[in-house]
């Protein structure tokens, strides 16, 4: 059975230009760092699903005669077709030769949503599975459209989102899904309600935001999950899709740290790299109180408008190309983690995993993000979703003692942010800390539910200013009498900034460590 649906293109009117490649966040820094080795999305196939123009139900195709698409093989999967200016602008940001960071993407499969939702997603066909991707190279799907079957037919919305999540999990694909335009505008379930993809908002915050509706699977999940530049969400979304294509290219390199992971696990590592690499400036908050007994504690992992933050392809690439670090089941056995990195772990019920971070200077930020997929049953009647929490504690004496940082206990060590993230419904958790005193910190990931094994992806970034000279308490860049004076000033206290040997006390051993290294 197939029912009528209401579909909207994300841009109410077609703007003269999409955003310039120079505006892609972090792209200039990526090129400056990698030069000719900068990934381009080469070898990555892309699916572009488009809502046709209101004036022509066949107008879903980008105009491939434009110079941006020279050398691009765009296969129109549905006939007849006509040119859509909306599809053309989306394509420019997604794989344009001069307007997209994924200029190396050359194989694209374009669909009219009116056909795709019936012929490929197979809505209303019972247990019939969605079709596989049109080519084994496909890793990114762009959905710059909104849809709902309407009031009283929410069962079909839920089925559509389940089938999209099932396809991503089965095929190792990441779908990027646009939110609605306009601050305070209504959210649509298709496809922003997906668990396994990314819902995308605008850098200027002129997009729909909030939580998934009561009629959705697992109501109350926060959306969007990431923001990016663009004149409309239609163009923000393919910017994130292009960034994903670059990360997939990196993930599939022979000998890459992601080698050996399944296609699904690689897609989730791409997702967590985008989330962990995002910029969280001073305006970003996941609503953790900054004073009182619950200081640093939140059940809301994302910023209500900004999601995980603003896209930064340079940091995301650093994360996914760093050494894989899967932590340790025992805190004292965990090695010191690097400034950036990722993990991909099969996590069982009640399991805990620990990572240790040692910073030697006052550190502006430490960010740690996890995400995991929901697993949809092949009959689409049910799904499973794990519940996993994050917590940070201060490590003393080689992590043999872990000191709680919630409430007033964290004031001396952490300037702001959150030290725990424990949503009961979201499949993302974020730790965002600001102004950490020197010392060692342990991130603890805990599986709360009793379900079967689930593949969890983690990504992190620590501000490089945190990695200076051991014992340089005053941040002068030298070990000198100023550092010793600071220790003497705090002698006999538990002041973390002067506790060089991290035994929990400021004492003569801290002076000795500075003298030893001078």
Q: What is the 3-state secondary structure (H, E, C) of 340-352?
A: EEEEEEEECCCCE
For residues 62-95, one letter each, b for 16 or more C-beta atoms within 10 angstroms of the residue's C-beta and e for the rest, the string is bbbeeebbeebebebbbeebbbbbbbbbbbbbbb
Give 272-312 pLDDT, tens digit per residue. Answer: 999 999 999 999 999 999 999 999 999 999 999 999 999 99
pLDDT above 80 (res 496): no
Helix (H) or strand (E) run with residue 245 in it: helix 233-251
Query: What whole-number distance in Å separates Cα of residue 211 and Cα of residue 207?
Result: 13
pLDDT above 60 (res 257): yes
Query: What whole-number distance in Å separates Cα of residue 22 and Cα of residue 37?
Result: 18
Place of tokens 């996890």: 370
Name, in order, each residue with C-beta under 8 angstroms of 130's C-beta and a sequence gap of 6 or more: 120, 121, 122, 163, 166, 167
Dihedral pair phi/psi, residue 404, rounded to 5°: -65, 145
Dihedral pair phi/psi, residue 439, rounded to 5°: 145, -165
By CB atoms closer than 10 A (0-12, 13-18, 19+), residue 14 is: middle
- Number of other residues whose CB lies within 10 A of the CB of residue 281: 9
Cα-based distances in Å from 65 to 88, 123, 500: 10, 33, 64
Residue of 338, 369, 355, 368 whose CA lies nearest to 464: 338
Q: Are 382 and 437 in contact (CB under 8 A)?
A: no
Mean pLDDT of 346-352: 96
List, in order of start, the domains of the chain with CATH numbers.
Answer: 39-274 (3.40.50.200), 322-466 (2.60.120.380), 481-517 (1.10.1330.10)
Instruction: Pick the range with the lowest mean pLDDT from 21-25, 70-74, 274-278, 324-328.
Output: 21-25
- Number of other residues whose CB lies within 10 A of the CB of residue 137: 16
Read out DSSP for 97-109? TTT-TTTT--EEE
Place of tokens 């490929």: 120
Give the sheet arrangement for strand 198-202, strand by strand: 73-76, 107-112, 45-50, 138-143, 174-178, 198-202, 226-228
- Number of other residues whose CB lies within 10 A of the CB of residue 468: 17
DSSP 57: T
Give 224-254 pLDDT, tens digit per residue. Answer: 999 999 999 999 999 999 999 999 999 999 9
Q: What is the pLDDT of residue 182?
A: 96
By CB atoms closer than 10 A (0-12, 13-18, 19+), residue 288 is: buried
Query: What whole-number distance in Å separates Cα of residue 354 and Cα of residue 492?
Result: 30
Q: Are 17 and 220 in contact (CB under 8 A)?
A: no
Query: What whole-number distance in Å separates Cα of residue 458 and Cα of residue 265?
Result: 11
Q: What is the pLDDT of residue 482?
A: 76
Residue of 456, 369, 373 whose CA lies nearest to 418: 369
Give 479-488 pLDDT, tens digit per residue. Answer: 677 777 776 7
Per-residue pLDDT band at 10 (split at 50, 70, 90): very low
Q: What is the pLDDT of residue 17?
A: 45
Give the gyration radius of the chain's Cα atoms.
24
**Token representation of residue 25:** 């966040």
Query: What whole-number distance in Å separates Cα of residue 116 and Cα of residue 112?
Result: 6
Average pLDDT over all residues of the chain: 92
Q: What is the pLDDT of residue 15?
A: 39
Q: Is the peptide bond before 289 cis (omega within 30 degrees of 0)?
A: no
pTM score:
0.92
Q: Are 73 and 134 in contact (CB under 8 A)?
A: no
Query: What whole-number distance in Å separates Cα of residue 324 and Cα of residue 42?
Result: 23
Q: Which residue has the higher pLDDT, 170 or 490?
A: 170
Q: What is the pLDDT of residue 492?
A: 80
Q: How many Cα neighbours within 13 Å face the side chain of 238?
A: 33
List strand residue ranges (DSSP E) for 218-362, in order.
Answer: 222-223, 226-228, 297-298, 340-347, 352-359
Per-residue pLDDT band at 11 (split at 50, 70, 90): very low
Give 13-28 pLDDT, tens digit per residue. Answer: 333 344 456 567 899 9
Name, in order, each residue with C-beta under 8 angstroms of 13's C-beta and a sequence gap of 6 or more: none
């Amino acid at each position: 059975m197939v029912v009528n649906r209401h579909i909207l293109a994300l841009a109410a009117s077609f703007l003269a230009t999409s955003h310039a490649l120079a505006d892609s966040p972090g792209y200039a820094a990526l090129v400056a760092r990698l030069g000719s080795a900068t990934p381009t999305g080469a070898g990555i196939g892309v699916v572009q699903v488009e809502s046709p123009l209101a004036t022509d139900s066949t107008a879903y195709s980008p105009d491939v005669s434009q110079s941006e698409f020279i050398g691009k093989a765009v296969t129109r999967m549905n006939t007849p077709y006509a040119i859509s200016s909306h599809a053309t602008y989306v394509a420019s940001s997604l794989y344009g030769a001069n307007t997209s960071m994924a200029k190396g993407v050359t194989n694209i499969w374009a669909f009219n949503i009116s056909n795709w939702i019936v012929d490929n997603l197979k809505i209303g066909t019972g247990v019939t599975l969605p079709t596989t991707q049109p080519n084994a190279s496909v890793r990114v799907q762009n959905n710059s459209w909104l849809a709902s079957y309407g009031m009283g037919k929410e069962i079909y919305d839920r089925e559509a989102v389940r089938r999209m999540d099932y396809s991503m999990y089965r095929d190792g694909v990441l779908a990027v899904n646009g939110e609605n335009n306009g601050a305070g505008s209504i959210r649509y379930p298709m496809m922003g309600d997906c668990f396994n993809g990314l819902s995308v908002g605008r850098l200027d915050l002129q997009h729909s935001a909030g939580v998934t509706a009561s009629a959705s699977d697992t109501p109350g999940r926060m959306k969007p999950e990431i923001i990016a530049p663009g004149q409309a969400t239609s163009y923000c979304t393919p910017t994130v899709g292009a960034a994903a294509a670059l990360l997939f290219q990196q993930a599939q390199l022979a000998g890459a740290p992601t080698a050996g992971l399944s296609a699904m696990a690689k897609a989730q590592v791409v997702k967590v790299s985008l989330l962990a690499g995002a910029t969280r400036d001073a305006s970003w908050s996941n609503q953790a109180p900054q004073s009182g007994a619950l200081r640093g504690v939140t059940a809301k992992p994302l910023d209500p408008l900004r999601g995980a933050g603003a896209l930064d392809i340079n940091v995301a690439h650093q994360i996914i190309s760093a050494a894989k670090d899967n932590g340790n089941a025992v805190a004292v056995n965990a090695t010191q983690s690097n400034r950036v990195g990722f993990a991909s772990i099969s996590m069982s019920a009640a399991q805990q995993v620990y990572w240790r971070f040692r910073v030697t200077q006052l550190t502006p930020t430490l960010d740690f993000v996890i995400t995991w997929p929901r697993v949809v049953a092949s009959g689409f009647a049910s799904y499973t979703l794990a519940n996993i929490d994050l917590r940070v504690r201060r490590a003393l004496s080689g992590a043999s003692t872990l000191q709680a940082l919630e409430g007033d206990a964290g004031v001396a060590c952490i300037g702001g942010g959150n030290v725990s993230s424990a949503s009961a419904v979201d499949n993302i958790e974020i730790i965002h800390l600001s102004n950490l005193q020197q010392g060692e910190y342990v991130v603890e990931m805990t599986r709360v539910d009793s379900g079967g094994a689930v593949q969890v992806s983690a990504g992190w970034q620590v501000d490089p200013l945190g990695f200076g000279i051991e014992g340089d308490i005053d941040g002068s860049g030298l070990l000198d009498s100023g550092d010793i004076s600071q220790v003497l000033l705090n002698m006999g206290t538990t002041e973390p900034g002067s506790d060089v040997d991290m035994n929990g006390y400021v004492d003569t051993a801290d002076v000795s460590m500075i003298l030893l290294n001078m």
